[in-house]
Homo-oligomer: A and B are copies of this chain.
Amino acid sequence: MKKILCLFLISLTLLVIAHAQVLRSPNGKLTMTFALQTGGTPTYTLAFKGKEVVKPSKLGLELKNDKQSMLDGFEMGKVDNTTHDENWKPVWGEVSTIRNHYNEMAVTIRQAISDRIVVIRFRLFDEGLGFRYEFPEQKNLSYFIIKEERTQFAMAGNHTAFWIAGDYDTQEYDYTTSKLSEIRALMPKAITSNASQTQFSPTGVQTSLMMKTADGIYINLHEAAVINYAAMSLNLDDKAMVFQSWLTPDANGDKGHMQASCTTPWRTVMVSDDARDIVASKMIYNLNEPSKIKNTSWIHPVKYVGVWWEMITGKSSWAYTNDLPSVHVGITDFSKAKPNGTHGATTANVKKYIDFAAANGFDAVLVEGWNQGWEDWFGHEKDFVFDFVTPYPDFDLKGLNKYAHSKGIKLIMHHETSGSVRNYERHMDSAYKLMKQYGYDAVKSGYVGNIVPAGEYHYSQWINNHYLYAIQKAAEYHIMVNAHEAVRPTGIARTWPNMIGNESARGTEFQAFGGSKVNHVTILPFTRLLGGPMDYTPGIFEMDISKINPSNNSHVNSTLANQLALYVTMYSPLQMAADLPENYNRFKDAFQFIKDVAIDWQDSKYLEAEPGDYLTVARKAKKTGQWFLGSVNGYEQRVSDIPLDFLDAGKTYTATIYADAKDAHYKTNPQAYTIRKVVVNNKSRLSQVCAPGGGYAVSFVQK
């Protein structure tokens, strides 16, 4: 019996080998092998330095109402191999030039029974693999409905994963670090409450998923260019350690309505034995199309403050009055309503922020709660919830913009949709027109709560189309967009660079909602940030929220120095100084770093990186050529010891180092920091103790 089995396995192996197609990365470290298993099931494997990191994994899609799903019965067709190497210049970014270098293999496979062909296109970069399904228009394939995409990622072991629960409606979870085998048991604890949430599996997790193998190899699973397609989560078979794609469904449970010719998004597997290669990778952007916006001169990075943290902490309110049980937009007369006295977006208060922004070199002021409807905006699946154009009586729309512009400041518009996307689309033109009329060039949009119409989810194909529609419409009006609660970015900002920010993860706001894990910011750059910048809203100086709102006992799990480092470690062309002006005025010396730090970069160097533990990054400002450095630390105190060899050769710099004090601690002593100046050059080394939840920031000024 054993013998027969052996023979069988050997012949099977031969069969597989018979069809094997091999693709190597430019640097030769990665090898992707494509093969058709017996039965004609397409599979791939990925090896790093000769070692399999993705074991034979099936490829295919299960279709609805379709005689033949695209899972097996395939024969090999032609195989096209090409090499691509280009440099392109992003409108904004971590570097001024991005190299897009990969070897490509496009495999055409034919399914006899359906007489259909599918192309699977593989692109192998030095740091990872991208592949997608392509469906050329053909006699037997024009329209089809995806029941489920069945793309596997078979792991070679019980890796350590940095994961959040798979969810159709929220991405705002704290990361759990565990073995893959522990996910099921830890899932209940990993799911914390959110304004809208829908889980689908006890072993379902989201991408970008970061992992580390027992022998120190880093693996990241994600996707790129999610356009006209549902966002993908991963469902783990925790016996076989195999992940399978799990798409976000529509109200009928269908996963995608497809019309050939079309493609799926790219599925990505990054691999390296140096964690710095993962955070430095531009692979997700490279897998997206070049900018569709020809004239990008109106797109620019923005450093801003906002009437926001005082509402998040509960000190102020978005709502104008507490007297109205409900609002009928356009009918309710707010001039007759009694102000609640806590409204944040008052003309006087906004002026305070404008003055602060102007005095400290910021570009803009975000104002939330300026428009009518906040009294009952949440939790009612309200269709006509906002009109996006009608201010409260105490917000002088025209006057405040005039005042801001007179001081060189722009106001940032806020469009909270409350998930009512049809209502937003109905008002989009008038809302954008109002912005242009008063000189707004950026909008923060939000999708808090359940999607209206009922049955739709935040990351389904239909809603993903809405997010892109909003970006494209905004581009017509030369408006930059920062969408919160929208689908996680997948490099689309390369194609639509007016998308200068997203939330799509657990942001600083949660530090005022009970707090986030200490090492959260050491994980985000390995996951969420790979797809695009995050409007993380750093810069909190007062960690005891009860000092702002006595009835809020939240604690910000970070030292002040760590908050400064975030401006460098959490790359974004949109950076907020989120705390209240009065808190910055208490720590003017530390605030100086926020004033100084650049937000657009010529170059970036990842010096130290370990997900969950630490990240140290140096960046060179695009405009000034000055260098800035940020380092964030996790739970354990550690010494960051780095050579400053990234500095320009032959130049001398005054380095101002904003660091944790000896006794600093995220919980017990978060505001203890030191500022010291040292003269350095590219031969110097820097050794710095980082407190638990701490870190440090450095500005280098050429002497």
Contact = CB atoms under 8 A, between A and B. Distances in A.
Interface of A: 137, 139, 142-143, 250-252, 254, 257, 259-260, 325-326, 328, 376, 380-383, 422, 425-426, 429, 452-456, 462, 465, 469
A250 B328 CA distance: 22
A259 B381 contact: no
Given A251-B251, A376-B142, A453-B453, A137 B326 contact: yes
B250 A454 contact: yes
11 contacts: A137-B326, A143-B376, A143-B380, A252-B454, A252-B455, A254-B454, A383-B462, A383-B465, A422-B422, A422-B462, A425-B426
A142 B328 CA distance: 11
A376 to B, nearest CB: 7
Contact of A422 (B260, B326, B425): B425
A426 B250 contact: no
Contacts of A254: 454
Given A259-B380, A380-B259, A453-B453, A326 B251 contact: no
Contact of A142 (B139, B257, B325, B452): B325
Number of copies of chain A assembled together: 2
A463 to B, nearest CB: 9
Contact of A250 (B325, B429, B455, B462): B455
Contact of A325 (B139, B376, B382): B139
A452 B466 CA distance: 13
A326 B456 CA distance: 26
A455 B252 CA distance: 6
Given A383-B462, A422-B425, A454-B455, 13 more contacts: A143-B326, A143-B380, A251-B252, A251-B453, A252-B454, A257-B381, A257-B382, A422-B422, A425-B426, A426-B469, A429-B429, A452-B462, A454-B462
A455 B465 CA distance: 17
B142 A251 contact: no
A454 B137 contact: no
A673 to B, nearest CB: 48
A325 B250 CA distance: 25
Contact of A425 (B382, B425, B452): B425
A137 to B, nearest CB: 6
Nearest to A379: B143
Nearest to A253: B454
A472 to B, nearest CB: 11
A129 B254 CA distance: 45
A254 to B, nearest CB: 6
Given A380-B143, A383-B462, A462-B453, A326 B260 contact: yes
A326 B142 contact: yes
A328 B453 contact: no
